[in-house]
Structures are given as structure tokens and as C-alpha cells.
Amino acid sequence: RGSCFPIHRAILSARCPFFRNLLSEYPGHGSQIRFDLTTPGVDMNVFAALLRFLYTGDIGPRDSDINLAALRQVADELITPNSLEQDLRYLLETGDYADASLVFTSDSSTEDYRRPDSGCSEYGFRPKLDLPCHKAILSARSPFFRNLIQRRSRLGEEHSERAFHIPTRIVLDESVIPKRYAKVLLHAIYLDHVDLGLILRGNGCGSNLG
């Protein structure tokens, strides 16, 4: 009897070369991948514990009946020995496997955005800020973003995005969350650390936050 394990492409691809190669053969959203367990000692419980390790970095199984030796063996064979933090940092800094983008917009009626000298554009406006990110991580780490993403799903807005392989645009009003804190916000969500040195200086032109 088989089992079904919902997974997130970005996390498994970043964490494990085996899954990265496997998932690259099934690029569509919601792909069902048949996976036969043939390694001796590896059953459904061990496989579930392996997935838990990929997501949490915790190798200790919750079930005392799990074959811990088999779990450690398959983990050593399949997984690059990076910490979870290293792999999340990789996703944050590269934007690889991103399925969403944070878009910071401003109220064009404000005085600052009407002034010809207010931005870095010759037309007198500042460009929006667009940052690649991952819905699974945002939803897991932030109730605010989870509610936004779930609301878009309920409204059916994600269907066309998935059909055309377009990242979900999560639009944030800069009057509520200033875009100068964009990198601080994502850094805190991905790495659980607030680094005020990442505050965007100057007038915030462009999408380069470095």
C-alpha cells in the first residue's frame, strides 16, 4: 500500500541533490511523482522522517520504532551536509525556485512621488521593488503572508499563474511596510534573525538591495 507525501519543490531542491534532479524531471505544479523505496530498511516511516529532517534539520525521529541506522544511512547517501540555515540562505540570496515575488508599491498621489526630483527616474517616479521569494517559507513563517496567500488561492487568482508558470505577485503597500525594510523583513522570515544593517539606504531606487 502506497502513501502520498505533499512536498515543496524549492525546499527539497535546495536541500537534497537527489530530489533536485528528480523534481527537475517533473516541472509542473502539483506533479505526482511515483517513488519506489528499494533501499533495505527504508520504509514509509523512515522516508517520512527523512522528509522531516529536510524541512527541520532535526534527524531525531519522533517514532521510537523507526530504524535510526537506516535513516542516517539514507540521509548520508542523499543529502548534501549543509545546515538548514545555509540552504535557506541560499534560497533567500539567489531566488532560485522562487514561486512568488514581493512587490512594494507606493501611493502615487503622495507629494513625494509627484515631485520631478523625488525619484531616480527621469519621468519623476520611483520604480517598484520586486523581490523573488517562496510561498512555502512565507506561509510557514508568517501568519500575515499565509493569510494573503490563502486569500489569493480562495479567489482563484493562483490558477492562471500556475497555468502560465507566473510567480504569485504579493503586493505590499509601502505606506504600511516601507520598502527600505524589505531585505530586513525577508532575512528575518528566512533566517529568524533581524539585521538592521540590511536597511535600504537612500531613496530606495531600483531592486538592488545589496
Cβ atoms of 177 and 102 closer than 8 Å: no
Q: Lowest mean pLDDT of 9-13, 115-119, 161-165, 180-184, name the range.
A: 115-119
Q: 15 and 50 share a domain? A: yes
Phi–psi pair at 76, nearest 5 degrees: -65, -35
Q: Rounded to an integer, what distance in angstroms lies between the CA atom of residue 45 and that of residue 17?
A: 21
Q: What tens digit of pLDDT does each residue of 40-63 get? A: 778 888 888 889 989 998 877 677
pLDDT in tens, 85-142: 999 999 999 999 999 999 987 654 333 433 333 334 444 444 567 899 999 999 999 9
Residue 184 has pLDDT above 90, yes or no: yes
Least confident stretch, 8-12, 114-118, 148-152, 177-181: 114-118
Nine-digit cell at 167? Answer: 510567480
Q: Residue 164 has which C-alpha cell? A: 502560465
C-alpha cell at 44: 514509509
Average pLDDT, the chain: 80
Q: Which of 83, 117, 139 is the last residue of a domain?
A: 83
Q: How far is CA 64 from CA 4, 59, 73, in A?
A: 22, 13, 17
Query: What pTM does this model have?
Result: 0.77
Same-domain status, 49 and 103: no
Provide the 8-state DSSP code for 131.
E
Range of the domain at 136: 98-107+128-198
Cell numbers describing residue 12: 527539497
Task: Tally the domains of the chain.
Answer: 2
Q: Domain of 185: which CATH number? A: 3.30.710.10
Give, as one character, the DSSP assignment of residue 61: -
Do both 52 and 141 map to the same domain?
A: no
Considering the domain boundaries, does residue 156 fall inside one? yes
